[in-house]
Amino acid sequence: MKVPSRGLFPVSQMNDGERISKGTHCNQLYELNAPGFPDTTPNTLTQRVASVSRLTDAVAAAVDGGRAVRNELIAARGEFNTLFADYRD
């Protein structure tokens, strides 16, 4: 089996726990290195922090079940995948 090269594992294939961990890690790296990032970054830190928070809340709520909760989880996953798609390990 060929192992993908460093950082090419798409976020769409991650489970929710991996997404939350990766998002939190990326946000921390961004905060620590903010001076090195251009001001024109397409996704702001605030958006990404909110996305991780939304996904965390949706995962917690999904434990209780319900169609609306599942729809929110799907929407949160989509938002997260969009905001973090360009990040690599």
Q: What is the pLDDT along the chain (89 residues), one digit of tens a residue?
A: 454 455 566 777 888 888 888 888 888 887 777 776 665 556 777 888 888 888 888 887 777 667 777 788 888 999 988 888 876 65
**Per-residue confidence (pLDDT) for residue 73, from 0 to 100:** 85
What is the extent of the structural domain holding 53? 43-89
**Per-residue confidence (pLDDT) for residue 65, from 0 to 100:** 67
Alpha helices, H only, 1-89: 16-32, 45-62, 67-84
Tell me whether residue 20 is exposed, middle or buried, using C-beta atoms within 10 angstroms of its C-beta: 0 to 12, 13 to 18, 19 or more: middle
**Per-residue confidence (pLDDT) for residue 72, from 0 to 100:** 83
Quick one: CA dihedral 77, 78, 83, 87, positive or negative?
Answer: positive
Q: How far apart are the first and last CA of the chain?
A: 21
In a domain, residue 13? The reply is: no
In a domain, residue 82? The reply is: yes
What is the tally of structural domains in the chain? 1
pTM beyond 0.85: the answer is no
